[in-house]
């Protein structure tokens, strides 16, 4: 028996929503196939030679081991991962593999877990990749649309469906940023004024989603005074590009820990903005809001 799923990439933080906000994207995505084995073994196959296949080092293997042990399952699993989400890109690569694995094991062994519990299990993979059991990527990968992590112990996820068209451009600079290192450079304390700014703008983004106001959503997305000023320095020409496209977009910010950049272009300027991004970074992706992990077979 086997289960195959499509596990989407995601964009976390969205500017002012550090470690809280997450957005599911339709493309790119991983294909995760989990096959039941008779013996209690976990085998990992992945099409990226830079990703470890030792199940104790691979995020999918860690999620699988946790779930099999928790439910006292005597079988093992073979996990095949076809990466569509580049590792170290800031697009939730580890989250896609983790979420896809949790979802597939739940289906394969009829565990009947709800989405919140799947997010919890998938976040164990994030613990391995970044030293933090954060759920801001795995939550939108499981739930789809827009999610907010409002508490960790116990885990609470709020889900907001997005039922309007939102054009999204992703620019992927040809560099990698290690998530652990990207967290280590962040300030250990923040100015109260900056904190109030970010909290207020984050509230405004949620309001904008309910009002279907893309302009307001994007404007607040660009208002981070805490994280972006630090991480933006790691991305070549980031602040220059942000200034160059500011009149042609609803919003632009760093995706996750970077280096990918997420852009919400104004409809009439989508081609112009994509050309600018491609001139600077080469690789761009046109996408839209995704609906979460999807069963294929």
Residue 160: helix, strand or coil by DSSP? strand
Q: Which two tokens stand for residue 173?
A: 């600079």
Instruction: Point out the catalytic residue in the list 126, 274, 284, 287.
Output: 126
251 appears as a binding residue in the annotation: no
Is 98 flagged in the annotation as binding?
no
Q: Where do the DSSP E strands lie in 99-191?
A: 146-152, 155-160, 168-172
**Alpha-carbon span 164 to 134, nearest angstrom:** 28
* 12 belongs to an annotated ligand binding site: no
Angle at 31 between CA 235 and CA 34, to 5 degrees: 130
CA–CA separation, 45 and 67 (whole Å): 19
Residue 289 carries which DSSP code?
A: B
The answer to whether 182 is annotated as binding is no
90 annotated to bind ligand? yes
Q: Look at strands 168-172 and 76-82 and give their pairing.
A: unpaired
Which residues of 38-121 form beta strands (DSSP E)?
A: 42-46, 76-82
The whole-angstrom separation of Cα 130 and Cα 38 is: 32
122 is in an annotated binding site: no
Annotation-wise, does 49 bind a ligand? Answer: no
**Is 208 flagged in the annotation as binding?**
no
Angle between helices 115-130 and 59-70 (to 10 degrees): 130
89 is in an annotated binding site: yes
Supply the DSSP symbol for 116.
H
Task: Establish whether 129 is an annotated binding residue.
Answer: no
108 is in an annotated binding site: no
CA distances to 24, 45, 71, 96 from 52, rounded to whole Å, are 25, 9, 25, 16
d(CA 84, CA 272): 26
Catalytic hit among 179, 253, 284, 287: 179
126 a catalytic residue: yes
Binding residues: 86-96
Binding residues for ATP: 86-96
Active site residues: 126, 179
């Amino acid at each position: 028996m086997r289960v195959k799923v499509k596990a989407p990439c995601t964009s976390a933080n969205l500017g002012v929503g550090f470690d809280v906000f997450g957005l599911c994207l339709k493309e790119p995505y991983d294909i995760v196939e989990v096959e039941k084995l008779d013996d209690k073994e976990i085998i990992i196959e992945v099409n990226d030679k830079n990703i470890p296949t030792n199940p104790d080092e691979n995020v999918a293997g860690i999620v699988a081991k946790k779930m099999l042990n928790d439910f006292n399952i005597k079988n093992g699993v073979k996990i095949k991962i076809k990466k569509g989400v580049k590792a170290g890109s800031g697009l939730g690569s580890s989250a896609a593999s983790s979420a896809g694995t949790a979802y597939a094991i739940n289906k394969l062994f009829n565990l009947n877990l709800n989405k919140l519990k799947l997010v919890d299990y998938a976040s164990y993979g994030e613990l391995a990749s970044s030293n933090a059991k954060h759920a801001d990527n795995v939550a939108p990968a499981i739930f789809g649309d827009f999610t907010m992590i409002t508490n960790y112990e116990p885990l609470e996820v709020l889900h907001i469906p997005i039922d309007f068209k939102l054009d999204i451009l992703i620019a992927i600079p040809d560099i990698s940023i290690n998530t652990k290192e990207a967290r280590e450079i962040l300030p250990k304390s923040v100015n109260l004024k900056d904190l109030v700014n970010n909290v207020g703008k984050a509230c405004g983004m949620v309001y904008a989603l309910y009002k279907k106001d893309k302009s307001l959503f994007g404007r607040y997305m660009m208002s981070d005074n805490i994280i972006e000023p630090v991480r933006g320095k790691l991305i070549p020409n980031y602040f220059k590009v942000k200034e160059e496209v500011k009149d042609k977009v609803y919003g632009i910010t760093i995706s996750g820990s970077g280096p990918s950049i997420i852009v919400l272009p104004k409809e009439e300027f989508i081609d112009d903005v994509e050309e600018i991004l491609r001139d600077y970074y080469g690789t761009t992706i046109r996408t839209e809001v995704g609906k979460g992990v999807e069963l294929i077979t």
